Each structure stands twice: as structure tokens, then as C-alpha cells.
Structure 1
Amino acid sequence: MVEQLSRDEGDCFLLTPNQSMTWKGNIRIWLAAVFLQLMISTGMVLAGAWPVLPFAGLELTALAAGFYYTSRKCQKREVLTFAPELIRLEKGLTRKEEEWELPRRHTRVWQDMPRHPWTPPKLHLQFRGEEISLASFLNMDDTEELVAILEKHGLRVEKRRKPEKLWF
């Protein structure tokens, strides 16, 4: 998602991955799976198939780990600020972990065009040979919105196509 924030230092945008469900929603789904698994496992144990229990526990543990991993990845945040002479990019999960300040005049924006039409293009900021990935988690619509914002703020977005690689 691309969300505009109000700050005194310039136009500021919060870039986040789309989240289909909150953490509490994930917990509710997991608890429903636990209840269903408990009902099925109880029936199997009463029928004499007790070896089902460890596998049911492993399945619920794997499901919980998958929910946690996905929810953690959806906590990524990038804050893009356009000051009169600078572009500031801040990245992190729950707090700011990395920060770059790039001069507006000398910063280039690359848009790597994907090979498949359903894959969103990847954006990169480049200054003095350093390429910084910009919001790699955005979907196609949000990437197009971000490109429009970059162009509105005077940055030219240059498209490039990566060389074709063999499948192996």
C-alpha cells in the first residue's frame, strides 16, 4: 500500500505490503484449525489410531510457523520522503533499521521490467553506483502509483529489462 503521511520536512509516503488479515485474525483461524484437528484426532484415537496425535501436533506447529512468518514479513515498512534537495528512504520492520539520504538531482530511478506480465516491476534508486531496492513488496497497482508519485516529484523513471536467463 502507498499512503501519504503529513510531515513538516516534505512530502512523505509510507510503503507497506498488503495485509489480508490482522494478527488477531490469524490467531482465530489457527484456533479454529486446532479445534477441528482436536475433534478429528480424538475420533482417530478412540478408533485406535493413536499414532495420528504426533502428526496432528506437527501439522499445527507448521501452520503456526507459517502464520508467524507471513505476518512478520507483512510488517515491513518503508518511508519515502521528498525534501527540496534530498530524497530520504527509511526501511525497517518494527523500527527504522536502515536509512539513506540521496540528493534529488543526482539520483536515478530504475524500473526493472518483469518477464511475465503478471509480475510487478521492481524499482531501484541509484546514486554513485549504489542501487537501493524500493518497495519490492508492492503489487502491480501500488507500483504504478509509486511510479506516478516519483515522476510527480521530478524523478525520471527509466525502464530496463534484465538479460534473459536460462531456466536452470
Structure 2
Amino acid sequence: MVESNYHQKTQTQRFVISPNNSLSWQQVIVYFTIIAGTCLAVAVYFTFLGVWLVLPFAGMEILLLAAAFYMTARRCAMKEVINIDPDTLYIERGRYKVEQKFKFLTAWTKVTLKTSEYRNYPSQLMIGSHGKLVEIACDLCEEEKAKLAEDLHTSLIDATQVIPHV
């Protein structure tokens, strides 16, 4: 998902890129509790019937499910923020704080959408200058990447044509 806004006062274009997230953290906890409770209830029932070996496997299943839910929720919390002003383009990545930051001169920055040589492989959206490239928007679908590449290219052209106020 891409959110875009333009700040007229600072002449800055901002793009916020985040993965499509189908569940909030609270919903993840609710669904995990329902599934784990059902699995545990069935395991306890079979344990009372004398098939006690079901219980450890149910426990492992619940732990694996918890790990999968946690890793998915953690991945969906990742955000990329791209700020374009007349002089500089900033790319910031992170979950709840900035973990990586990249800086490019706006006038020299290029946006490249590189399609894969192999069928069904995702394309790569790259931003960079002077031989340094950064891949962005890894979690977006192909249509969103193409639209973002077009919007970034337009924003870079617009930013370099802005006359700063003195």
C-alpha cells in the first residue's frame, strides 16, 4: 500500500510504503487464541481417552503457529518512507523507528523498474545515483510498483524544477 502527500510549505513530497496487512495485532491475538484453544481442547480430550501422545504434538503445533503469526505480524509492521525535496531524496526504513536511512541528491537520482528475466519472479524497483542503488517497495504487487515508479519519476522531475524561495 502506498500513501502519498505533498507539503506545499516545505515543497516536499512524501511516500509511505507498507505491505498489505490483512490483520491488526489484536486480530492476530484473537485468531491465535481461538485456534490454539481449539487445538488444545482436542489434544486434552484425546489425552483423557488414553492417547496421551497427541498432547506434545499439539503443543509443538501451537508453538509453530505462534511463531508464524509473530513473524508475519512483524514483517507487516515494516514501513518505507521516501521524502523528496528540491535538494535531497531520503529513504527511511524500519518497523517502529528508523533502522536504515539512505540519502541521494534529487538532481542525480534515477528511478528504475527492473523486470525479472524469469517468469513469475517479481520486478525490482530501484532508486539510486552515482552507482549506489537501493531496492524499495519489495512487498508491493507489480501494478503498485509500476504506479509508484511513475509517481516517483514525476515527483523527481517536479522537485528539480522548483525554484527555492530566498
TM-score by length of 2: 0.85
Q: What is aligned with 1:4?
A: 4
Distance 2:133 2:84 in 1: 18
Percentage of matched positions with identical amino acids: 27
Distance 1:104 1:48 in 2: 70
Preserved contact between residue 2 and residue 145 of structure 1 (Cα < 8 Å) = no
1:101 and 2:83 correspond: no
1:143-163 deviation per Cα after TM superposition (whole angstroms, max 9, x unaligned): 1220121122246xxxxxxxx
1:78-113 deviation per Cα after TM superposition (whole angstroms, max 9, x unaligned): 111110122111111110122122112211222220
Preserved contact between residue 120 and residue 138 of structure 1 (Cα < 8 Å) = no
2:60 maps to a residue whose letter is: L
1:53 deviates by: 0.8
**Structure 1 residues 141-150 or 61-70, which shifts more?**
141-150
Query: Following superposition of structure 1 onto structure 2, how do residues 69-80 of structure 1 map, counting pairs within 5 Å?
Result: 69-80=71-82
2:138 maps to a residue whose letter is: S
State the secondary structure of the residue aligned to 1:153. Answer: helix
Q: What is aligned with 2:142?
A: 140
Distance 1:13 1:31 in 2: 36
Preserved contact between residue 19 and residue 139 of structure 2 (Cα < 8 Å) = yes
Instruction: Kindly report structure 1 stretches of 4+ aligned residues shifted beyond 2 Å.
Output: 5-9, 114-117
What value does the CA root-mean-square deviation take over the aligned residues?
A: 1.6
1:50 maps to a residue whose letter is: W
Q: What is aligned with 2:23?
A: 21
Distance 2:64 2:95 in 1: 23
List runs of 5+ in structure 2 lacking aligned partners. 158-166
Number of aligned residue pairs: 154
List runs of 5+ in structure 1 lacking aligned partners. 156-168
Preserved contact between residue 4 and residue 14 of structure 2 (Cα < 8 Å) = yes
2:4 maps to a residue whose letter is: Q
**Structure 1 residues 125-134 or 51-60, which shifts more?**
125-134
Preserved contact between residue 120 and residue 143 of structure 1 (Cα < 8 Å) = no
